Structure 1
Amino acid sequence: MSSILFWNCRGARKKQTGHYLRSLISNNEVNFVGLIETMVQDFSRLEINKLIGCNWDFFHVPAVGKSGGMLALWRKDTVQFEVVMTMEQEIVGNVVLPNLQKWGIVIVYASKEYHTRRLLWNQIGPLVSSDLPIIVRGDFNCCLNQGEKTGGRKFSYTIGAQEMADFMFINDMHDLGFMGQKYTWSNNKSSNSKIWVRLDRVLMNSIGLRLAPLATVKHLIRIASYHCPLMLNLAPNELKNGTRWLRFEDIWITYPATWKIVWSKWHKQGVGQPDEILNRTLKALFFWSQNRLKELGELKIALESRIKELQMIECSADGLNEEQDGELRRNAGELNSTLARLATWWRQRAKIKWIEEGDANSHFFHSNASGRRRGNRIMETQKQNGECVDDPNLIQKEFWHFFVSKWKERQIYVMNWHDFSQEIGSLNI
């Protein structure tokens, strides 16, 4: 697991800061930390050891008086970090993570004054438009809509908010969203004077989203600061104990053998509730596809290679014999079927209805498919009693109970393939 922590700590020399920081690192396997508003003009090696430990290297941008200051920390035994540029509002560098992936990282502490913050967009704009996966994270001192603020003055779409939105659009930066509490900053006042705003966020470009399509950001609890720490996990753990969702694949319809599987499982003698019959049928289709179907990408390559060989022989003086000619025709037909199945497979994941023939391998189409995969992943859900859960097994259990209850309410018994596939598709299994 590769976790990166960002936190506006509002004072790095506070004892509470060190206690909470060390706790977060030990519990989350953090490899890189970005602290802002350290309020420290100079850090010694001894102070770093006391703050986070002796296994960490660091780079510090001094505070101006008791205002500002940024600190980048990385585990020197697992991570390499190179500073590319530093300014008053940002640290820009390249980090090599334990999995040897190289990422560009920008730690931001944006000015509250939008004229000064405009310099930030101009400075980091050319740097984030590189071919590297980029992470821009920090306190932007700006929210983008009314949903990111409660209390105080009503949100207005100011020039500062517009310039930040323009920066994200022009430079292909995407907000990763979050898990946990909605806002990242509070003024810690009471009753009607309380204000909550989402000032801190993590942005990533499309290259980064392709490398880490399931990256998650969690807003942790606020301790020792007005700001929440933000935990970025580039490779979140999958479902435990090998558990996985079973989803209906549209390409199954293209194989006549699956019709017999559905018929036999759906009409199997014995006691069974509708949800049990559906689950049994889906499992049979899934294991059939695992055991019988070749990897479509590998099959495509093998067929193309064999067709190329046969066509080379066809162009030679001897030409093809009757058996080779039949093989060429069969392989060409199978390749066309495989290409159609591949297009169906990607279309189901991207949900793009306007894809034209030939677009299945385009950069844009695969980006949309990865985005759809990310959007379909549920990282947190709320139970009927209001409790939020983020454990994958508990989320799966909660949705399965919901599905079973809805199924029993409807009491649907489908009798043919078309109704079966339509019903499953409507349930998003």
Structure 2
Amino acid sequence: MSTTLFWNCRGARKRCTGNYLRHLVGDNEVHFVGLVETKVETLDRAEVDKMIGTNWDFFHYPAIGKSGGILVLWRKDLIKFELRFADDQVVIGSITPPDGLSWAVAVVYGNKDYLRRRSIWQNIGTFCVAAEPVLVGGDFNCCLAQSKKKGGKRVTPTAGVVEMAEFMNCNDLHDLGFVGPQFTWCNNKDGNSQIWVRLDRILMNSEGLSKAPLAMVRHMGRIASDHAPLLFSLGAKVATAPERWVRFEDVWTTYPASWRIVWLNWRKTDTGSPADILNRKCHRTLRALYHWSRQRALNLNRRKTELERRIIELQNLDCTPGGLGQDLEEELRRCVGDLNDTLARLTIWWRQRAKVRWIEQGDANSHFFHLAASGRRRDNRVVLTLPNCDQPVTDQRTIWTLFRHSFGINGRIDRPASRGGLNSAMRGRSQLT
């Protein structure tokens, strides 16, 4: 089972509901959707196709007039859904993904009257089996604690609150918490009349937690309804910046400013064992050099181009009858010196990436450094000489055709041959023979 969506949409036929639903499904790879308070008595295939797409199957429990209604949708090409129970407050079924692990899922739309909500606890409790992972989500219309509400009357331990807490304890259901906005519903009023409450939540039993220990719930934005959609995913995907490897650049040593950065960061006092102190000093100094290089050290290739252009301009001006003044002559000498320094730094930069240690320090062949640095990432073409032919065969499709016939490989091969793949296959053939 992949990502699951629970949402009190406050009207399934609204255009904004369909737009936001397709956006959530497309961006989060949602395979199962539970919509409550659809406010729709009848719903046909054409409306579902327009709302979410043709790859979705559905079950709709009709609303009573303009109140209530539960719509369950699932990707028919990816998962199977089997209905177990349905009424005006809960739809219960089982989801079977391709991996074969069946989940019991309940989509809840609790009534505001706690006396009528009691039937939810009884119906869900009947299907809560310890050996089966259970997922319960939706709008419970019940606030369990004062910390889950802002504005309005204070939350008191009424009979409805106590019954829901007992239901969770008796059926081994746990609140998964959330990532995102704290409250899931707002009355959208102004001033002191505005109220925020966490009415929507997702619960899972211990068996489900053991199957999906990294399960996570995200509260999405309240866009097309006064309720926030809830996204449940089996694997926690937290948006973090990708980890970057920071390596020491030899070219940094050519800048006198880097020496002072090393001195300032190395002289700071650290505590702990000698190994820990050395590790922290190296880590801190390397990070400082990296951030300094991004802010201070210019792009060497761009710097080289700018200096070459400026030197040509000044030398062309020097050929005019007026020649160069004292200030421009000093600028020309400074540009020539900067260009020589830049070229030396480029040589150091490429030498470090070429991984060639036997090159003499005086060799500044940039073409060689480019070839050595990029040679490991270049796919070489295969030249195959046949036993009964005088000329080698270089056409890639011919090589692969002969290769398949020689080694008994069936099937279509669309990509050109690479040296590694062909050589490894040949080695395997030679070991067999």
Q: TM-score, normalised by structure 1?
A: 0.57
Contact 1:4 1:231 in 2 (8 A): yes
Code of the residue aligned with 1:224 in structure 2: it is: A
Partner of 1:18: 18
Aligned residue type for 2:186: S
- CA deviation map 1:28-65 (0-9, x unaligned): 00000000000001110000000000000000000001
Is the Cα–Cα contact under 8 Å of residues 145 and 155 in structure 1 kept in the other structure?
A: yes
Residue of structure 2 in register with 1:112 after alignment: 112
Q: In structure 2, what is the equivalent of residue 9 of structure 1?
A: 9
Closer/same/farther in 2, CA of residues 62 and 275 from structure 1, 3 Å limit: farther
Q: How many residues align?
A: 258
Distance 1:117 1:268 in 2: 62
Going from structure 1 to structure 2, the CA distance change for 1:269 and 1:107 (only over 3 Å counts) comes to closer
2:22, 2:183 → 1: CA distance?
23
Q: Answer yes or no: is the 8 Å Cα contact 1:56–1:76 preserved in 2.
A: yes
- 1:5-404 maps to which residues of 2 (within 5 A)? 5-237=5-237, 267=274, 272-273=279-280, 276=283
8 Å CA contact 1:135, 1:204 repeated in 2 = yes
Gaps of 5+ in 1: 244-264, 278-429
How far the C-alpha of 1:214 sits from its partner, in A, is: 0.9
Relative to structure 1, is the Cα distance of residues 274 and 144 closer, same or farther in structure 2, using a 3 angstrom cutoff? farther
Q: 1:269 to 1:75 in 2, by over 3 A?
A: closer
The residue type equivalent to 1:273 in the other structure is: R
Pairwise CA distance, 1:102 = 1.0
CA-CA distance at 1:242 after TM superposition: 8.3
1:142 counterpart letter in structure 2: C
CA displacement 1:218-255 (0-9 Å, x = unmatched): 00000111100000011234888789xxxxxxxxxxxx
Q: Aligned partners of 2:275 and 2:205: how far apart in 1?
A: 50
Kept in 1, the 8 Å contact 2:92–2:107? The answer is yes
In the alignment, is the contact (CA less than 8 A) between 2:130 and 2:207 conserved in 1? no
Structure 1 residue 267 displacement after superposition: 4.2
Give the Å deviation of 1:2: 1.3
Between the aligned partners of 2:277 and 2:96, the Cα distance in structure 1 is: 57
Aligned to 1:361: none
Q: Could you say what the CA RMSD is over the residues aligned between the two structures, in angstroms? A: 2.5
Equivalent position amino acid for 1:194 in 2: Q
- In 2, the alpha carbon distance for the partners of 1:77 and 1:240 equals 34
**Corresponding residue SS for 1:180:** coil
Q: Deviations over 1:149-207 (max 9, x none)?
A: 11111111110000000000000000000010000000000110000000000000000
Instruction: Note if contact 2:220-2:230 (Cα within 8 Å) is conserved in structure 1.
Output: yes
Q: Distance in 1 between matches of 2:98 and 2:282?
A: 43
Instruction: Say which SS state the counterpart of residue 203 (structure 2) adopts.
Output: strand
Q: Distance in 1 between matches of 2:237 and 2:155?
A: 37
The one-letter amino acid of 1:18's match is G
1:166 partner SS: helix
Separation of aligned partners in 2, 1:228 and 1:269: 47
1-side partners of 2:47 and 2:136: how far apart? 27
Structure with the bigger RCO (C-alpha within 8 Å, sep 6+) is 1
- SS of the aligned residue for 2:228 comes to coil
Whether contact under 8 Å (1:2, 1:98) holds in the other structure is no
Distance 2:92 2:275 in 1: 63
Taking a change above 3 Å as real, the CA distance of residues 242 and 50 of structure 1, as seen in their structure-2 partners, is same
Question: CA offset at residue 270 of structure 1?
Answer: 9.9
SS at match of 2:24: helix
How far apart are 1:129 and its partner, in Å? 3.2
3-state SS of paired residue (1:32): strand
TM-score, normalised via structure 2 length:
0.56
Q: Deviations over 1:377-408 (max 9, x none)?
A: xxxxxxxxxxxxxxxxxxxxxxxxxxxxxxxx
Shift of 1:69: 0.2
Q: What SS does the corresponding residue of 2:164 show, helix, strand or coil?
A: helix
Structure 2 portions without partners, runs of 5+? 245-271, 285-433
How far apart, in 1, do the equivalents of 2:141 and 2:150 lie? 15
